[in-house]
Amino acid sequence: MNQDLEKKELSLNELSVEHDSLTVIKGKQLALRIIRMSLYLKQKGETVLSEKALDSGTEVGRLLRCADNVETISEYFEELKKAVYKIEETMYWLELLYESRRLSKEQFDSIYKDCKGLSDELKAGFIGKFDKEKTG
């Protein structure tokens, strides 16, 4: 009986995430990774660059969430453009953290790959939009 209750609770928890698009979920996951990285770097005494990455990296998730709640397609793509800009900014801070030896190659590659993947995914959406506008 207790297991049935736990299963129902799990289903309710899953429903709370299902309203978000996959892109929004990826943006939030990236933000959480950036938060953990920033906390790790602050423990090691690195505050300036980690704070910059924290600001831009968490902004990505916020912008993607906002994009899911706009009223027009032009507002949607405007929010996505801002998110791509913030991802690129985050990637810059990550490069500096790596090149200044604040992040190991393994740490850098892992989080940078996630940033690049999300950036490429969003940019591909723009290309698809513009292709449709040219032919439509």
What architecture is the 20-135 domain classified under in CATH?
Up-down Bundle (1.20)
Which residues of the chain are under the pLDDT cut of 70?
Answer: 1-20, 127-136
63, 79 contact by CB (below 8 A): yes
Domain boundaries of the chain, sorted by first residue: 20-135
> First vs last Cα of the chain: how many Å apart?
56
Q: pLDDT by residue (tens digit) across 96-118?
A: 999 999 999 999 999 999 999 99
pLDDT for 38 = 96
pLDDT for 124 = 87
